[in-house]
């Protein structure tokens, strides 16, 4: 899989996210599972975007943590109480990367704004904003963002739009677990699809670098993810 250390956590995190989705929907906690599926979608989109210019964007992604660490330390010096050596290391690292980011912007602020300049959806817009939605447009995930991500975000923030998840067959508000086959299978299918996309990006990255032995894993991943998704969508109830 992708060898850069700071990106490796994506895969165990995503695998545990998938397990968490399984655990929550198995317990009838559909609303709670949507927050995890939302996280999987974000990770999938980020990785897809990074893969557009892998080395450059991975560098920005990796070093953003040091940029944030500097500002956190600068804000709470007395609370953090770092050693002089640690403070010097943070300051030195910050000096080498500070021009790559905005203080209150995401790690992808500058490259995404450049991509937006050349995209049909944004090139005529004078004041562009580097948002996650814009990244979804650039990576071909706009429809998923509009149809799915917005709804999942409403669920995370407690919107009344998700009220149907807490109603029983008599249309009464209920605290009982929700074991609706439709919600369970749909939620699981999206979680599997997002994790599969991440695995696909990682495997193709290695295949492009000459590791052709990963081709069989790519085939297996495609086969089994489709099998699981098809099984779920055919049994929505």
**In angstroms, what CA-CA distances link 101 with 68, 71, 96, 110, 138?**
10, 12, 11, 7, 20
pTM, entire model: 0.84
Digit-coded pLDDT (tens) for 3-59: 455 567 778 889 999 999 999 999 999 888 999 999 999 999 999 999 999 989 999
Give me the domain span that covers residue 96: 5-233
Q: What are 136's two structure tokens? A: 């979804």
User: Considering just the CA atoms, what is the radius of gyration of the chain in Å?
Assistant: 21
Tell me if residue 180 falls in helix, strand or coil.
coil
Residue 167: phi, psi to the nearest 5?
A: -115, 145
Digit-coded pLDDT (tens) for 115-143: 999 999 998 888 899 999 999 999 999 99
Secondary structure string (H, E, C) spanning 162-219: HHHHHECCCCCECCCCCCCHHHHHHHHHHHHHHHHHHHHHHHHHHHHCCCHHHHHHHH
Residue 37 CA to residue 194 CA, distance in Å, equals 8
Q: Number of structural domains, the chain?
A: 1
């Amino acid at each position: 899989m992708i060898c850069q250390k700071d990106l490796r956590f994506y895969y165990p995190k995503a695998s545990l996210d998938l397990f968490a989705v399984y655990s929550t929907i198995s317990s009838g906690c559909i609303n709670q599972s949507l927050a995890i599926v939302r996280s999987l979608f974000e990770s999938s989109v980020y990785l897809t975007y990074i893969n557009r210019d892998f080395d450059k964007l991975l560098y920005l992604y990796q070093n953003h943590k040091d940029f944030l660490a500097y500002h956190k330390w600068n804000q709470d010096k007395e609370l953090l109480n770092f050693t002089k050596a640690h403070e010097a290391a943070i300051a030195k690292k910050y000096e080498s990367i500070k021009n790559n980011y905005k203080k209150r912007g995401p790690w992808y602020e500058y490259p995404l704004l450049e991509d937006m300049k050349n995209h049909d959806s944004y090139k005529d817009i004078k004041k562009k904003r580097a948002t996650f939605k814009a990244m979804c447009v650039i990576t071909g995930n706009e429809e998923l963002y509009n149809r799915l991500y917005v709804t999942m975000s409403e669920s995370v923030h407690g919107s009344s739009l998700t009220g149907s998840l807490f109603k029983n067959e008599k249309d009464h508000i209920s605290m009982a677990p929700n074991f609706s086959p439709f919600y369970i299978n749909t939620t699981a299918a999206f979680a599997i699809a997002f994790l599969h996309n991440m695995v696909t990006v990682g495997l193709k990255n290695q295949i492009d670098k000459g590791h052709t032995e990963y081709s069989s894993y790519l085939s297996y991943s495609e086969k089994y993810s489709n099998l699981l998704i098809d099984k779920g969508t055919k049994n929505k109830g």
